[in-house]
Amino acid sequence: MLNFGNSLFLFALAGLAVPILLHLINRELAVSLKFPSIRFIDRSQLPRREKRKLRDLLLLALRLLLFAATVLAFAKPVWVTPLTTVAEGTTLEQTIYLVDASSSMARGNQWQAAKSALRNDLANTDAAEVGLVAYADRVLIQMSPSTDPDPIENFIQELQPSYSAGNPGTAIETAVRLFNPEAKSRLVIVSDFQETDWQRDLPGVAEDMDLVFLRPEESEAPNIGIANVNTVPVGKNQARVLVMVRNHSTEAQTVPVTLNSESDSQEKLLNLSAGQLGNVTFTVDVEEPRAMSANLPADSYNRDNSWHFWIAPPPVVRVYAFLPNLDEPQAVNAFYFFQTALEVESDSDWVRFEVTALNRGFFERSLLEEADVLVIPAAGAFLRDGQWDDLKAYLDQGRTAIMLPGESFPRQFRSLERSGMMASRFLGLAGNTNERQTPYHFGSINPSSRLSQTFADAASKDLFLVNVYKYVRLQKSDLDTTLIAFENGEPALISLAVGQGTLYASTFAFDTSWTDLPLRNSFLPLVRELVQEGFNTDRLRRQFFIEETQSLPEPVVEPSAFELDGQFWEVNMNPSESIAGTVDTDQWLPALLSQKPLYANAVPGAGTLPGDSGPKTEFWPWLLMIALICILLESLLTGIKDTAQSSSLGRPNPV
Amino acid sequence: MAVAYKDFLDPAHLTRIENYSLMAKTAVEGFLSGMHRSVFHGFGTEFLQYRNYVPGEDLKYLDWKVYAKRDELVTKVYQEETSMNCYFVVDASASHHYQGERAACTKLRYACMIAASLAYLATRQGDNISLFAYQDTIVEALEPGHRTGQLHRFLQALTRLQPEGQANHERLLKSMTHHMRSRGLVVYLSDMLEAEETLPRMLQNLRFQHCDVLALQILDPDERDLPHGYPVRYIDSETEKEVVASADAVRGEYEKSMDQFMDDLKNGYRRAQVDYKPLITTDHLGHALSQYLHHRESLA
């Protein structure tokens, strides 16, 4: 059977009329010529029909062939082996049941209805061979068509909907491959045709494949499901739990939301309009990590009635600030600003900071070991040579330090250069303390840093309005990373890689004589993000949907919250399975499936992939070769014709 | 390989020289080098008488043969010939834009090459040259003169000519008679199309002004034989009228009409005592130059 990959190109064959018209027009048009005087030229009848030359006809035929071959080549004609009868007078008929076992099929009594419909069809089918493909997010089982329907019946009996979202694409591909290419194929899809599953990229099936859609009766009972749960710390020992609940029914509902753990239980009522997403908040103690679940009462779809999560104290980040000289006002001011910014309770950060000041005598390696982040505000100049080594050793372990300049900034930056921690070169001070009329402003944030996400969009506006009255000028080296740069391109905040760790060096002090940054809104997020840049607070909690765990070494089959290797795992069902919308199986879905490129007929046997070699013949290379030959012959003939014309006095220059 | 002098006069060769000055020099010098040496000696001066030598005079004027025979020092006295006005009249109407497949240049270019060559020759002989170029009005007019730069101005005027519009012969010849103050030679260059009755009569009027007239008709070879072997929509260059014809079908009648037209012109000019020479744009320029020299000699 002849098929076309791009059949729309066939319309271009209408263009065959163009060469014919050109030939006809060429024959009848007189050439315009400006002549000195037409006084003696009488009007004459043009010859009615120029003698048709064989060469002209051949040229016309060549041009037609060239055009047709080119158009057909673009239409990608393929000769595929047509369906043939297995035996003389009979045709093998095969039916494959594609069963949706995604979580949404567990709604109401849909699963039982689906199995009944399948059994009913199985009992009444005329097909000689029947097969089965069951799927959820992946193919769960595939049974090649056989004459014995009993294994299918047995398997259906055992099969239960999984907790995963559905992905029918791979299942359809599998089912199509299972068909015998020479058989008359019938694909029966048993599914709820939930739109979140079926509005994905679907493969195509052969146009002559018989598609049957078995949709079980939908449950009319209301469904309310949990869409998500968030936890944020409140104070040192408490956390706020935010449960988001969606009403999927068409009527307003009042539902009790329960928060359960091994030790206690809380309940709150929530009113939800039709289709509304609502929140309910609980406050719980978090002295110890514990697994919890948010629950709803039973309804038509029970699987979205619970959400498993961990509640645990936020990780404490210990920040040590080196304050060797309490008479140094810049150092004290910077420490105060830092401490205030870090100890603010934030709903958005699952982290808690503990800021401790270290006196001169306490800056030693053993104490530093306890710090997650070390801040050296205006005190770099006070570090002795041995302490620079201690700092370097501390950073080598993958820790983070933040260094701010003070009055003795030359000594601090030269020491950084000398110790090899900073590759940039110290140049001096920019700005005049006495004349603050021309402050400097930030010009850019490094797009690959965490700061760029925090200060995206409107949040960045305030940061770029910060006034900096003076700063330490550095000749930037490529080895150091600039996190924030001034408008003139000079670094304002640089990141120095020291071993496994990072030293953040500001070129201006966090003091009002240097800048108004500590007094602005952007100070708090800047300091907190800077501290967290080197401390990943998300590393303790791991959140997955069921189907996402399939790629892990040990897939999880049911929603749960558990601890594994010191990490808190939260595995829940994908809330997309609660969506009640379905796709149109009367027109949209059959049309979508049949519009895709065909390969069922082209595949020689079951189990081979689409695109594999088979009994199909591609014609386009031959057509292109014909077109090429036509071009050569056409050029040759045109050349001969031009030579002949020019030898017979030639035509004048057209007007 | 030596270049024959005829090659220098071939329009196909000369039309490649953009500069009219260089073209004219090439054509004329080439033409003269091919002529017999003695024919044109003595132009410009004429022997008048002998007189006795006065000390201080240039010795080059002494007649040494007389001294040898009679032992007397005598000096030859020449009389300067009166210079003559040479009027070149060029028709620059749109019909002169035509260039057929066989021609190397348009009719106007050919006419200009002839005018340039003749003007160069005239200047070389000390004559005054003048130019009138016209379409429906006079587009270039140059008073007679022979001073330095006159030839340059003449050639520059030729360079500016573009074939446009319809030729108004009558207006040209009327205004030209007002400008002519002395006798001379009028060289008239035109395709003379559709003017076989009026032109001989009008040029005859110039003879009444004591001018000798040389009428050179410039035609493209296509105008003689209509060679096109395919249907053509002929558009009249000057009137923009159109006629569609198959040249093969009308060629016989056309050639007859053209022959009749040429005969009428020839007879008309003969009656008007105007010398007439038809030229085809493939003819080499020697025809025109020799015709001119013939006239010039008769006038001298």
Q: What is the ipTM of this complex?
A: 0.80
Distance from the B100 Cα atom to the nearest Cα atom in chain A, whole angstroms = 7
Question: pLDDT confidence of A644, banded at 50, 70, 90?
Answer: low
Pick from A31, A40, A648 the residue to mutate for testing the B interface (most B CBs within 10 Å).
A40
* Residues of A in Cβ contact (< 8 Å) with B92: none
Measure CB to CB from residue B228 to each of A39, A42, A652 and give the nearest one: A652
Pick from A26, A32, A38 the residue to mutate for testing the B interface (most B CBs within 10 Å).
A38
Report the alpha-carbon distance of residue B79 to residue B59 in Å, rounded: 18
Question: pLDDT confidence of B131, banded at 50, 70, 90?
Answer: very high
Domain residues of chain A, as ranges?
2-81+619-647, 95-218+581-595, 224-313+542-578, 316-535
Q: Do domains A95-218+581-595 and A316-535 have the same CATH topology?
A: yes
Give the class (CATH, top level) of A224-313+542-578: mainly beta
Of the listed ranges A148-162, A555-569, B75-89, the one predicted with least confidence:
B75-89
Give me the pLDDT at residue A10, please: 84
B/e letters for A496-526, b = 16+ CB within 10 Å, e = fewer, are bebeebbbbbbbbbbbeebbebbeeebbbbb
Give me the pLDDT at residue A611, please: 39
Domain residues of chain B, as ranges?
5-36+83-299, 45-80
The predicted model gives A462-473 an average pLDDT of 88
Which CATH number is associated with domain A316-535?
Answer: 3.40.50.880
* Residues in chain A whose Cβ is within 8 Å of chain B: 29-47, 648-652, 655
From the centroid of its chain, how far is CA A388?
45
Which CATH number is associated with domain B5-36+83-299?
Answer: 3.40.50.410
* Residues of A in Cβ contact (< 8 Å) with B96: 36
The predicted model gives A56-65 an average pLDDT of 85
Of the listed ranges A279-283, A515-519, A607-611, the one predicted with least confidence:
A607-611
Of the listed ranges A470-479, A506-515, A540-549, B251-260, the one predicted with least confidence:
A540-549
Which chain B residue lies closest to A32 (C-alpha atoms)?
B233
Kindly report, residue by residue over A23-51, the tens digit of the pLDDT: 776 655 678 888 998 888 887 766 555 55
- A521: which DSSP letter? T
Kindly report, residue by residue over A616-633, the tens digit of the pLDDT: 778 888 888 999 998 998
What three-state secondary structure class fits A495?
Answer: strand
User: Half-sphere exposure (CA, 13 Å, Cβ side) for A140?
Assistant: 25
Most confident of B6-15, B46-55, B135-144: B135-144
The predicted model gives A545-573 an average pLDDT of 82
Distance from the A29 Cα atom to the nearest Cα atom in chain B, whole angstroms = 8
Give me the pLDDT at residue B39, please: 39
Measure CB to CB from residue A33 to each of B107, B229, B235 and give the nearest one: B235
Give the CA distances from residue A105 to residues A167, A224, A229, in Å, rounded to whole numbers and listed in that order. 13, 16, 24
Which amino acid makes up residue A552? L
Which CATH number is associated with domain A95-218+581-595?
Answer: 3.40.50.410
Question: pLDDT confidence of B15, banded at 50, 70, 90?
Answer: confident
The predicted model gives A93-121 an average pLDDT of 88
User: Are B254 and A652 within 8 A, CB to CB?
Assistant: no
Diameter of chain B measured on Cα atoms: 84
Q: Which residue has the higher pLDDT, A512 or B98?
A: B98
Question: pLDDT confidence of B93, banded at 50, 70, 90?
Answer: very high
* Residues of B in Cβ contact (< 8 Å) with A649: 101, 227-229
Which amino acid makes up residue A499? G
Nearest to A452 by CA among A482, A483, A481: A483
Which chain B residue lies closest to A26 (C-alpha atoms)?
B231
Measure CB to CB from residue B234 to each of A29, A33, A47 and give the nearest one: A33
C-alpha radius of gyration, chain A, whole number:
39
pLDDT above 90 coverage of chain A, percent: 9
Q: Which residue has the higher pLDDT, A7 or A251?
A: A251
Pick from A44, A647, A653 the residue to mutate for testing the B interface (most B CBs within 10 Å).
A44
* Residues of A in Cβ contact (< 8 Å) with B228: 33, 649, 651-652
Question: pLDDT confidence of A590, banded at 50, 70, 90?
Answer: confident
Q: Could you tell me the end-to-end alpha-carbon distance of chain A, in angstroms, rounded to an integer?
A: 54
Give me the pLDDT at residue A87, please: 46
Q: Which residue has the higher pLDDT, A429 or B25?
A: A429
The predicted model gives B35-46 an average pLDDT of 42
The predicted model gives A508-514 an average pLDDT of 86
Cβ under 8 Å to A: B residues 199-238: 220, 222-223, 226-238
Pairs of CB atoms within 8 A across A/B: 100
Give me the pLDDT at residue A651, please: 46
Question: Can you give the pTM of this predicted structure?
Answer: 0.43
Kindly report, residue by residue over A219-246, the tens digit of the pLDDT: 677 889 998 888 877 766 788 889 999 9
Nearest to A325 by CA among A408, A241, A382: A382
Nearest to A403 by CA among A438, A372, A365, A374: A374
The predicted model gives B114-127 an average pLDDT of 85
Kindly report, residue by residue over A297-333, the tens digit of the pLDDT: 988 888 889 999 888 777 778 888 888 777 777 788 8
Distance from the B118 Cα atom to the nearest Cα atom in chain A, whole angstroms = 25
Pick from A25, A26, A32, A34 the residue to mutate for testing the B interface (most B CBs within 10 Å).
A34
